[in-house]
Amino acid sequence: MLAFSAVPGLAIGLGVSKLLGSLFAGLSIQADRPLRVGEFCQIGENLGFVTKIGLRSLELQALESLVKIPNSLADEATIVNFSRRVRFSSPDPRQGMEVRLQLPADFSPFQLEELLRQTRLLIDDPDRLHGLKAESSLVSLDNDSGDSKTLIVFVLVELHGRPAYLQMRETLLVQLEELLERIELYEITIGDPYYTTSEQLVRVPELLRCAVNTDPCLNCVNCRLLKISACSYDHELEISSTHRLQDDFQESIHRLHQRFIKVLAKTNIEIPFPTQTLFVESPRP
C-alpha cells in the first residue's frame, strides 16, 4: 500500500521538478540575456528568429515552422547569436544565413572545384545578390548525404527583419540553383564513330578547343579522349565560363554546339547515333 501511494507523489514531484527547472532556466536567460526577441540565433540544432521568451519556454521562428523550446533545454544548449556576432565593430544588425544544396552524385572533381570557386565569386558580387554584400562567408562541401555531396554556404549579412532575410535567402537559392545548372554543362562528351581514322582522331581535340575558345566568355580547360564506348570514341571537354547571366551562358552553349557540328562536318567526322537491339518474341506456331 505504501509503495502504491508513493507513485502519485513521485509523479507530482517529477512534474514540479521539471516546472521549477524551466522557471529557473527562464530566469537565468532573462538575467544573462544571451538572446533577445527579434535576434537571429541558433539554439542547439534549431536556427531562426527569436519571437518570444517566456518563463517556461521560448519560441524560435525557423524557416519551416515555429519551434517551441523549453528554457531548461535552451539553457543547456549551445546558443549562437548571429545578430550580435559583429556588434562590437558595427551598430548595424548582422544575421547569419546557412544554405545547403545536395549535389548530383556524378559531379566530377573538376565540377566540384568550379562550383566552389564560382560560389565564392557569387557571394562576393553584390550586384547578383540584389545589392546585399556579405560581411563574411564560408563555402564548403560535406558528404553526409551518402554517395552525393552537399554544398554548404554560410554568409553573414546586414539585414533588417525576417522579410529581408527571406528575400535574401530566396535570391541566394535561385542563384545557386542556376550555378548548379551551369556547372552541369561544364563537362561535354562528344563521340566519334569507330570508322574515324587515326589522323582524324588526332585532330579532334584541337578542333574542339578552337570551337570553345572562339567565344571570349568560354574557356576550354581540358580536352582528351576519355574512353572507348560501345559505339564511339568519346572525347570529354572541361570548360569554364565568365558569363554573369544564366541566359547569356545558355545561349553561348547553344552556339557552341552548333560550332561543334560545323567543325566536325568540315573534317568528315560524324557524330554517331547509338543503336538499340530489340528482342521480339517469335510467335508460336
Per-residue pLDDT of 172-203, as tens digits, reads 899 999 999 999 999 999 988 888 899 999 99
Dihedral sign for Cα atoms in the order 165, 168, 173, 174:
positive
Q: Quick one: average pLDDT of 222-249?
A: 90
10/27 Cα distance (integer angstroms):
25
Q: Which residue has the higher pLDDT, 206 or 74?
A: 206
* Residue 248, pLDDT above cutoff 70: yes
Q: Who contacts 149 (Cβ-Cβ below 8 Å, separation ≥6)? A: 102, 103, 107, 112, 141, 142, 143
Looking at residue 168, what is its pLDDT? 83
Residue 7 above 50 pLDDT? no
Q: Regarding the domain delimited by 187-266, which CATH topology (the fold level of the hierarchy) does it fall under?
A: Alpha-Beta Plaits (3.30.70)
Q: At 65, is the secondary structure helix, strand, or coil?
A: coil
Model confidence at 240, pLDDT cuts 50, 70, 90, reads very high
- Asked if the model's pLDDT at residue 87 lies above 80, the reply is no
pLDDT at 225 over 60: yes
Side-chain-facing half-sphere of 31: CA atoms under 13 Å: 7
Instruction: State the virtual CA torsion across 191, 196, 199, 204 in degrees, nearest 10.
Output: -20
Top-confidence residue, 85 or 88: 85
94-184 is classed in which CATH architecture? Answer: 2-Layer Sandwich (3.30)
What confidence tier does 280 reach under pLDDT thresholds 50, 70, 90?
very low
CA 264 to chain centre: 37
CA pair distance 238, 220, nearest whole angstrom: 6
Q: Are 99 and 176 in contact (CB under 8 A)?
A: yes
- Of the ranges 10-24, 156-170, 205-219, which one carries the lowest mean pLDDT score? 10-24
pLDDT score of 84: 65
Bigger pLDDT: 167 vs 281 = 167
pLDDT for the residue numbered 277? 40
Between residues 11 and 174, the one the model is more confident about = 174
Residues 126-144, mean pLDDT to the nearest whole number? 75
Query: What's the mean pLDDT when you consider all of the chain?
Result: 79
- Report how far residue 168's alpha carbon sits from residue 163's, in angstroms, rounded to the nearest whole number: 9
Alpha helices per DSSP H over the chain:
2-32, 71-76, 109-123, 162-184, 198-213, 246-266
Q: Please say whether the beta carbons of 139 and 116 come within 8 A.
A: yes
- Its pTM stands at 0.66
Q: Give me the CATH code for the 29-82 domain, please.
A: 2.30.30.60
Point out which residues pair with 240 in neighbouring strands: 219
Task: Kindly state the average pLDDT of the residues 220-228.
Answer: 92
Q: For the chain, which residues make up each domain, given as ranges?
A: 29-82, 94-184, 187-266
- Please give the C-alpha separations between residue 12 and each of 8, 17, 19, 54, 55, in angstroms, as whole numbers: 6, 8, 10, 23, 20
pLDDT category of residue 24 using cuts at 50, 70 and 90: low
